[in-house]
Every structure is written in structure tokens, then in C-alpha cells.
Amino acid sequence: MERNGDTLWSAVQLEEPVDPSIRHAGQRVSGTKKALREIVTFLLLPTAAIVEAALLILLIGWIDCVTDFNVTVFYFVPVVLATWRAGRKAGWFIGALCGATVLIADLMVPRDGRVAVFSYVNAGILVLASGALAELVISSRRAHERLKALLALKTVSLTEIHHRVKNNLQIVSSLLRLQSGKFADPAVRDVFTECRDRINAMARLHEQLYDERGQSHLDFAPHLRELAETLLRSHQPAGCKITLKVCADPVPLNLDQSILLSLITNELLLNALKHAFAGRVAGKIEADLRTIHDRVTITIRDDGNGFVPQPTAMNEQRGTGMDLVHAMSHQLGGEFVVNPVPAGGTCATISFPSKTSHQQQVVHS
């Protein structure tokens, strides 16, 4: 019993030695952060804006009294600050305060009676000008808030559209998968699979735009990596180990360009996986995306068997996939070139002009 008591006392002793200075330092840091949060919260309040504007008026009035520099224009700064953050009444109040400050600054300088009348006139004009400025700021703020509301509504609408399009494309992909199960011919099933790959690529682009919450452009580099890895997992040749290497610069593209380039990339990668490594136990595919001199260039390269016929006969050998690539390259306003690699393999290159400005976002038809 005594031994158990010693053990309990030892455990209590182990819990006791906590450095009080560390505890107090942590409490001080926590208290400092809390105080800073409270200060920032107060500075963002409309009341704080009025106080800040009043202090700024006092500073400008002091400069007006001790110097001969004309600072009348600077009185409008606190009016704009108070009106934008605290509203119309605050703007008129600060405007009246500006007029009073100007009047006091003028009257503190000894003048004759006739000139003193002009001090009252100048102060009244300043109050009226400040009020007009406050009304203009209020109108601008309301227009700004309306634009923000319209932009938020547009963003929500665009994201909802992209989400629905993505869901519809996934439904079409599921229907194609169900229909392909009715055919026993592997060639027919391959056609359905290729169609599903194209639809899934477009659905993924809409999903990425949905995640971007209304952005009109998306970075194609992550999509290229994801597309290449997905195709490699689903279409890797039996008995052949393929090494994939993707080198991609950040390339912002609009939705039309992204869909066309995604379909082109899908065809070229699928073509390499299906035809380049027949009878091989290993191979390598490289995808390279670059922007050089306002032109986007994507290169799909493999070290496979290359062309048995001449490259000019590629369309006949590879089916409608290359016809699609040629057509979509033309739609992008670009060039499509296929060359054999001297060391063995094939290199396909797509190059088209980059269109990131608003005037250039229309895809060539």
C-alpha cells in the first residue's frame, strides 16, 4: 500500500514541474493577439472611420494655420473616407466639420471686416462642395455594390452551369458504358471506350472550372498531367511497362481552347498507347507543354516502334483519330506536325497562338 502511494506521489511530481515563465509568455502572446484583433476590428468600424476623418481634418487645419500653403483640396479626402465607410450622414458631418475648420483657420489670421466675410463664404462653399462630393461617393458606392452583386450572381450561375454540364457528360459516359456491354466485338467496345475517354476529358475540364468558382481561364498543365496518368492507367498495353514523363509550364486557356487541346492530347496519347508499343516490354511517353513567343506548343513523344509506312500515310493507318486532331488543330488556328524520331519513335507537335486577352479569346472557326 505504501509502495502504491509512493508511485502516485511520483506521478504527481512529474506533472508539476512546468516552467511558469513559459506559461506566462504564452498568455502574454495570446493576450497581444487578442488585443490586435480588437484594434483591427475597431478600425474597420464606421465609427472609427468618422474618428479617423476628424483627426485628419485637425491635421489639415493645423497645416492650414501654420503655413501659407493652400490645402483646401485636401479637405475632401476625409469626406470621401467617411462617406465611403460610414455613409451619407457621416459624409455631410465631416463636410460641415471641414467648413468649420477652414473658417477657424481663416479667422485666426488678423483681417479687416470685409475680408472676413469671404472666410464665411469660402467655408460655406466648402461645405456645399463636400456635400456634393459625399452624394457622388454614395452613388459610386451603390453602383459598386450592384456590380459586386451582379458579379457574384454571374459567378454562381457560371459555376452552376459548369457543374450541370459535368454531370450531364458523366451521365452520357455511363450510358455509353452500358451500351458497350451489349456488344461482344472488342473493336466495337474500343470505339465506345474512346468516346467515353473524350467525354470524360471534357467533363473533367468543366469540373475544374466549377472548382475555380467563375474563373474564365484555367491552367492546362494540371489537366494535362491528370489526363496522361488516367489514360496510362486505363490503356497501358498488356505486358509492356510504360514510363510517363510530363513537363508542363503554367498555360492559362479559356474553355474552348482547353476542350480542343484536351481532345487533341487524348487522341495523341491514346494513339501512342494503342499502336506504338506492340511487341514491346517497356517504353516511354513524354508530354511537353510550353509557351514560347505568345504561342502554345504541346509535344507528345514516344520511343515506340515508329511508323512502318511513311508519315504521310499516317491518316490511313491510324483511323479517324488523326482526322479529329487535324480538324481541331485547324479550329485552334494552329499547326499539327508529326515526325519520326531518328532514335526510334514518333513526335507529334501542336502549336497555336496564345489568346489570353479578351479580344483574342474567340477560337478560330
pLDDT in tens, 283-333: 899 999 998 878 899 999 998 887 544 444 444 444 467 788 888 889 888
In terms of domains, do 145 and 246 share one? no
Distances, alpha carbon 264 to alpha carbons 43, 86, 101, 113, 145, in Å: 54, 55, 70, 86, 42
Residue 19: the pLDDT is 53
- d(CA 125, CA 127) in angstroms, rounded, equals 5
Which range is least confidently modeled, 122-136, 162-176, 254-268? Answer: 162-176
In terms of domains, do 223 and 322 share one? yes
Residue 287: the pLDDT is 93
In terms of domains, do 125 and 31 share one? yes
| 121, 149, 177 - which closes a domain | 149
| 149, 169, 192 - which closes a domain | 149
| 124, 149, 174 - which closes a domain | 149
In terms of domains, do 145 and 225 share one? no
**199 belongs to a structural domain:** no
**160 belongs to a structural domain:** no
**Residue pointed to by grid coordinates 495523341:** 268
CA angle 256-250-295, nearest 5°?
65
Neighbours of 98 (CB within 10 A): 28
**317 belongs to a structural domain:** yes
| Model confidence at 336: pLDDT above 70 | yes
Residue 349: the pLDDT is 92
Q: Is 216 or 19 the better-scoring residue by pLDDT?
A: 216
In terms of domains, do 347 and 264 share one? yes
Range of the domain at 228: 219-365
| pLDDT (average), residues 353-365 | 51
| pLDDT (average), residues 102-119 | 69
In terms of domains, do 119 and 223 share one? no
**186 belongs to a structural domain:** no
pTM of the model: 0.54
**2 belongs to a structural domain:** no
In terms of domains, do 134 and 270 share one? no
| Model confidence at 247: pLDDT above 80 | yes
Convert the pLDDT of each residue in 168-224 to its tens digit.
888 888 888 888 888 888 888 888 888 888 888 888 877 777 666 556 678 888 888
**213 belongs to a structural domain:** no
Burial profile 202-218: b = 16 or more Cβ within 10 angstroms, e = fewer: bbbbbbbbbebeebebb
Convert the pLDDT of each residue in 36-95 to its tens digit.
777 667 666 778 788 888 888 888 888 877 776 767 778 888 888 888 888 888 888 888
In terms of domains, do 340 and 259 share one? yes
In terms of domains, do 365 and 223 share one? yes
Total count of domains within the chain:
2
